Amino acid sequence: MKGNLDRKRAWGWALVAAVLIGLYGCTTGGLKPTTTLDAVMAQTDPESKAIEELNAKLFASAGGAPEFQDYILNEGDLIQVSVFEAPELNSEVRIGARGFVTLPLLGSVEVKGLTTVNAEQLIEDLYREKYLQDPHVSIFVKERFGGKITVLGAVEKSGSFDYPARQRLLDALALAGGLSETAGRTVQIRRKGENPERPDTYLVDLDQLIEEGHSELNLEILPGDVIFVPEARMVYVDGAVREPGAYPIRREMTVQQAIVEAGGLRTTASEGNIKLVRYMPGGSREVVQLSLNDIQNGKAQEMTVRDRDVVFVETSTFEAMLYGLRLNLGMGLMGIGYTPPPQ
């Protein structure tokens, strides 16, 4: 009787060991490494290089320093209008909220939205029609009031900028220092429309504008416009982490920081079995084997993630089973139960 009980117990333990060994063997599968950590660390970020090349073309395509005669008059500006043939017609006026100024003999003249050169020509033509044979008018802007644009998002220097003269989209992006490493390829231009609560929005594809040379997309920027460059780069963290998902890549985000963004490792994570999947130009992918020690103290400590990287933390089924395994031995019988470990 005792011999039979011993044989049953021995068979039971052998079964448990076989199950655990089999489960542990399963954890050694999964994604197979295709490259080494050293090779990945030595790679140049193609996305960062692409941004550098895009910025170089952006600055080359942007206009030079704005010229004073291209300044666009706006409401609130204080201007001095001089008529050389008739100094008594000289005046200093501020552009009203509706864009008009009041000039001697002419009355109200709309000048908002005109460059100083265009406004000079308009006033000369109006005086020539009725009052002067060959007038010459000059305009000097004494105070600039409303000439501002705002550039936000993934640019080097976001904020509000003076609008000294006529500009286009590439000029405004250059004014903001160019695109940052996290910039997407679509730019939004928001402009006040007839309904102030619902501004007009224009979308511009930078690849088409800069790479493919569609100059018609280099839209003219008006005072008050808001230019927004969204971020595009994302890293995906999956497997034995607390909150798997896609996360925006902040500047110089490391693999460890990406895992922290995903809530950290689960109790059942295989600390020595972390994979980094990296998509390469042409659609291929490379897989590198990492460990928690590599990420925290080793070569990969400063390793940054790139757009579309996947950080996959494998589950240690062996540890998961050991954590929750319970054996019930009694009366010559053996029962196996399992309690899932906490997250």
**CATH code for position 108:** 3.30.1950.10
Using an 8 Å Cβ cutoff, are 227 and 188 in contact?
A: yes
Pick the closest to residue 110 from 95, 130, 124, 121 (CA basis). Answer: 95
pLDDT recorded at residue 302: 81
* 66/160 Cα distance (integer angstroms): 17
Residue 335 pLDDT > 50, yes or no? no
Place of tokens 């904020």: 159
In a domain, 225, yes or no: yes
Neighbours of 160 (CB within 10 A): 11
Highest mean pLDDT (candidates 43-47, 217-221, 322-326): 217-221
78 belongs to a structural domain: yes
Least confident of 44-53, 87-96, 134-143, 267-276: 44-53
Least confident of 175-184, 274-283, 289-298: 274-283
Q: Which domain holds residue 187?
A: 62-67+147-229
The whole-number pLDDT of residue 60 equals 87
Domain finish residue from 110, 143, 176: 143
Q: What percent of the chain has pLDDT over 70?
A: 75
Statement to judge: residues 221 and 241 lie in one domain: no
Token representation of residue 4:
């039979």
Residue 21 lies in a domain: yes
Model confidence at 332, pLDDT cuts 50, 70, 90, reads: very low
Among 229, 253, 288, the domain boundary falls at 229
For range 294-321, the mean pLDDT: 80
Least reliable range by pLDDT among 265-274, 302-311, 315-324? 315-324
> How far apart (Å, rounded) are the C-alpha atoms in residues 233 and 50?
13
Q: Which pLDDT band holds residue 104 (cuts at 50, 70, 90)?
A: very high
